[in-house]
């Protein structure tokens, strides 16, 4: 996750038994190299790097991932055709993030080892079609033979169990880890996340790249512009530069872009990432033992 997932969060998740991930989308290439090296120092376990494929210097990021011998890449936001075979030739496992069965099939054809099927509830960039996780998971499981990792609206062990009952083999959690001690997100943003309620986020900027964010002043400017039929250029001007950094990293809550999922409504504590992994696992195992127990 941009502005959240550096080496501290990734290594803490991997050390606790999850697969931690470094989000390269908000890093200059040299910064990514530094995070990979620090992550290797901080954990002996595997970790992954997320590479958004529309990143302007994508070839540099890919080269760093190869040079630093990263074993697993999660690609997103773009066509997996170009880069998957190049990474796979180097023995790197490639997982691509999709929001529809159609894109899942394309990822399978491109040679990806697995897909993340990310539903409408998810924080950050998302599909235009608004397919919810509940519908997307069974659809993608039917559409492809490669393993499906469920994402979007999952923050608890019982939700993880539900995703697996629908055919997912793993889950990817984003928002839950924004509200972790090790996330590099600003404390103002973390506090807002744990205090947010149902209905506080919305998918917007559908004309450009749809993104789910908190409904703050910046969101309202975007909405007003979209409602009066603003052009893409006008929207880009409102978006300006570095809005996401301003909001999520620098803690400017009114005018920054604050990406988070619907599941933020279920979060009420900032926890160490290792505790999050442990809690999810314990609740998952209890749920598995007694799936229909009244809570």
Where along the sequence are the contacts to ligand FMN (CB under 6 A)? Answer: 1-2, 4, 23, 25, 50, 52, 76, 97, 118, 121-124, 151-154, 172-176, 178, 248, 259-261, 263
- On the 0-12 / 13-18 / 19+ scale of CB atoms within 10 A, 119 is buried
- On the 0-12 / 13-18 / 19+ scale of CB atoms within 10 A, 91 is exposed
Show the beta-strand stretches assigned E in 186-255: 201-204, 211-214
The least distance separating ligand FMN from the CB of residue 281, rounded to whole angstroms, comes to 16
Residue found by looking up tokens 């997982």 in the block: 95
Nearer to ligand FMN, 100 or 175 (CB): 175
H helices of 43-128, in order, are: 58-67, 81-89, 101-109
The least distance separating ligand FMN from the CB of residue 290, rounded to whole angstroms, comes to 25
Q: 10 Å Cβ neighbour count for 138?
A: 16
The least distance separating ligand FMN from the CB of residue 229, rounded to whole angstroms, comes to 29
Residue 122 Rama label (left phi>0; alpha psi -120 to 50; beta): beta
The least distance separating ligand FMN from the CB of residue 276, rounded to whole angstroms, comes to 11
Q: Cβ contacts of residue 221 below 8 Å, gap of 6+?
A: 238
The strands making up 211-214's β-sheet, listed across from edge to edge, are 124-125, 211-214, 201-204
The least distance separating ligand FMN from the CB of residue 125, rounded to whole angstroms, comes to 6
Nearer to ligand FMN, 108 or 121 (CB): 121
Nearer to ligand FMN, 101 or 249 (CB): 249
The least distance separating ligand FMN from the CB of residue 214, rounded to whole angstroms, comes to 10
The least distance separating ligand FMN from the CB of residue 177, rounded to whole angstroms, comes to 8
Nearer to ligand FMN, 52 or 274 (CB): 52
Nearer to ligand FMN, 60 or 230 (CB): 60
Q: Cβ contacts of residue 125 below 8 Å, gap of 6+?
A: 76, 77, 209, 210, 211, 259
Nearer to ligand FMN, 80 or 124 (CB): 124
Q: 10 Å Cβ neighbour count for 183?
A: 25
Nearer to ligand FMN, 9 or 154 (CB): 154
Please state whether beta strands 148-151 and 114-118 pair in parallel, antiparallel, or not at all (unpaired). Answer: parallel
């Amino acid at each position: 996750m941009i502005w959240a997932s550096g080496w501290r969060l990734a290594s803490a998740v991997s050390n606790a038994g999850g697969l931690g991930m470094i989000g390269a989308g908000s890093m200059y290439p040299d910064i990514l190299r530094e995070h990979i090296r620090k992550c290797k120092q901080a954990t002996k376990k595997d970790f992954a790097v997320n590479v958004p494929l529309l990143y302007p210097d994508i070839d540099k990021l890919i080269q760093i991932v190869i040079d630093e011998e990263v074993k697993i890449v999660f690609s997103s936001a773009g066509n997996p055709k170009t880069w998957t075979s190049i990474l796979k030739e180097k023995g790197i496992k490639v997982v691509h993030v999709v929001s529809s069965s159609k894109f899942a099939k394309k990822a399978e054809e491109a040679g990806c080892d697995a897909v993340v099927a990310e539903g409408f509830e998810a924080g950050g960039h998302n599909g235009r079609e608004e397919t919810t996780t509940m519908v997307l998971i069974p659809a993608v499981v039917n559409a492809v033979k490669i393993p499906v990792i469920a994402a979007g609206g999952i923050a608890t062990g019982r939700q993880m169990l539900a995703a697996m009952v629908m055919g997912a083999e793993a889950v990817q959690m984003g928002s839950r880890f924004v509200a972790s001690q090790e996330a590099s997100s600003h404390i103002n943003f973390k506090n807002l996340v744990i205090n947010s309620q149902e209905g506080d986020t919305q998918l917007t900027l559908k004309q450009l790249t749809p993104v789910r964010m908190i409904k703050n002043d910046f969101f309202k400017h975007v909405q007003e512009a979209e409602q009066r039929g603003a052009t893409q250029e006008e929207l880009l001007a409102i978006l300006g530069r570095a809005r996401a950094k301003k909001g999520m990293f620098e803690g400017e809550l009114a005018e920054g872009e604050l990406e988070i999922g619907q599941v933020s409504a279920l979060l009420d504590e900032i926890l160490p990432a290792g505790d999050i992994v442990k809690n999810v696992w314990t609740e998952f195992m209890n749920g598995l033992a007694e799936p229909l127990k009244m809570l």
